[in-house]
Amino acid sequence: MATFGTLSDRLTETLRNLRTKGKLTAADVDGTVREIRRALLDADVALPVVKEFTAKVRERALGDEVNRALNPAQQVVQIVNDELVGILGGQQRRLQMAKTAPTVIMLAGLQGSGKTTFAGKLAKMLEKDGHTPLLVACDLQRPNAVNQLQVVAERAGAAVYAPEPGNGIGDPVRVARDGVEVARRQQHDVVIIDTAGRLGVDAELMKQASDIRRATDPDEVLFVIDAMIGQDAVNTAKAFQDGVDFTGVVLSKLDGDARGGAALSVASVTGRPIIFASTGEGLEDVEPFHPDRMASRILDLGDILTLIEQAQQAFDEAEAMKVAEKLATEQFTLEDFLEQMQQLKKMGSMKKMLGMLPGMGSMKQQLEDFDEREIDRTEAIIRSMTPGERRNPKVLNGSRRLRIARGSGMTVTDVNQLVQRFDQAAKMMKTVARGGVPSIPGMGPVPGSGRPGASSKRGKQPKAKGSRSGNPAKRAAENAGIAATTTPTGSGFGLGGAGQPSAEDLAELQRMLGKG
């Protein structure tokens, strides 16, 4: 995951150096704090925030909680994680909805920060929660800004109020006021006001934004800021806070591998919480901001909770129960496999999902090389089969495989490999369906499996703890979460390394999903 990639690399490398220390001296702590300070400053984190952060880390690292710890290095990692959560805002803060509809949300920020795109993302997110948002086009300065909002609204399936053509024509304050009235009459329960930005902060920008705020009395004023703009993030945030004030922050463009540390300073400097994080160009690429989860991602500790939530949203529980029954009774077919892949695609990018696993920060190149189109190729092969062939792959003789290869634009070798991988996947998923943990080449054996590397002790093996959910994907994610909290991860700084997926693991996963 590219989010704060440079900062993440520096911090994880610094903390990894503590791994071999059985006991930490004052010199060890000072050296670590010094490297953390350099990493934060190089990432453009504001100097006052860096000073406060490192002072707290040093004080706690030299305190009794570390001296008494069985694993001092791991305790320091926990301290750094806690303090990162603090500068990111502490607790998650959700949107404040009005008691009487409509809820008015005003977006503010510089030109190019991503306000218009975020307006569409927010509308789509709110629609999923049962709301009926109305987008109001109040950016009447930037060329084609109104047209862009209309296009975004159409893609999001949301209504838009755009009575003026823009391009310097129209009164944005009147449009904003009228937009709220239109929403009230047409029973839209949320109004999202897209305001104009400038290339830099100026008096005209602030006056217009302030006038719109007074005219509409919004329930939320969200300051959208580009996570890649460096130290200007803090200065811009202060200017908007003084000129307009805002109730929350949206970090955009977190998918870029930039230093981005200045964006981390905004919550501490302004005292306003980060509410959303935008992680891509797609309308689905936005998520509520969780300070604790972002801190874990920065320290390469993974984000299993978000992964589980995405699985819950993408997979149908009733359908998953049927699949679980088929797996347990060995009736799982290529048709079921195709349906599961289609639901998997609903969760979003495989790279992003894999990036949420602990220890994956050290495998950026392997993740970058991961070809997500293999799922599409696998889908093409399966769709080229007849229903009977999908239900019973054993009937696939040479002529059938040649026909399927031609129909899907693939080769006979690709078809052969898919059938082999399906057999392997069915066995693995059957293990998961029965509450076990599958054995993946390169990731070690299933406890008690009797395979090479398994426990050599004879007798009854202790029963493995695991999720009992009827949803295979949810169960697999929850089992991964249990493993992440009960076994060492691969983050490399005092947390062990046995659980880190290897390059072979990613290669095997890609072969499971498509062409090897």
Sequence ranges of the binding site: 109-116, 194-198, 252-255
Give the C-alpha separation, 288 to 296, whole Å. 15
* Cα distances (Å, whole numbers) of residue 298 to 16, 31, 254, 347, 352: 14, 20, 12, 22, 14
Q: Residue 435's CB: how many other CB atoms inside 10 A? A: 15
Three-class DSSP category at 10:
helix
Give the C-alpha separation, 372 to 514, whole Å. 9
Q: Write the DSSP assignment of 262-318 as a string of letters.
A: HHHHHHHHH---EEEEE-SSSTT-EEE--HHHHHHHHTT---HHHHHHHHHHHS-HH
Which tokens is 498 given?
Answer: 């046995």
Cβ proximity of 161 and 182 under 8 Å: yes
Give the C-alpha separation, 466 to 482, whole Å. 7
**Mind spelling out the 3-state secondary structure of 411-478?**
CHHHHHHHHHHHHHHHHHHHHHHCCCCCCCCCCCCCCCCCCCCCCCCCCCCCCCCCCCCCCHHHHHHH
Annotated binding residues for GTP, written as ranges, equal 109-116, 194-198, 252-255
Q: Residue 67's CB: how many other CB atoms inside 10 A? A: 12
Give the C-alpha separation, 267 to 20, whole Å. 35
- Over its C-alpha atoms, the chain yields an Rg (Å, rounded) of 26
Beta bridge partners of 160: 135
CB-facing half-sphere around the CA of 404: CA atoms within 13 A: 29
Amino acid at 481: G
Q: Write the DSSP assignment of 37-79 as a string of letters.
A: HHHHHHTT--HHHHHHHHHHHHHHHTSHHHHT-SSHHHHHHHH
Q: Name residue, tokens 């080229």.
A: 384
Candidates 239, 236, 287, 295; CA nearest to 264 is: 295
- To the nearest 10 degrees (0 to 180), the angle between helices 317-328 and 412-433 is 100
Cβ proximity of 8 and 36 under 8 Å: no
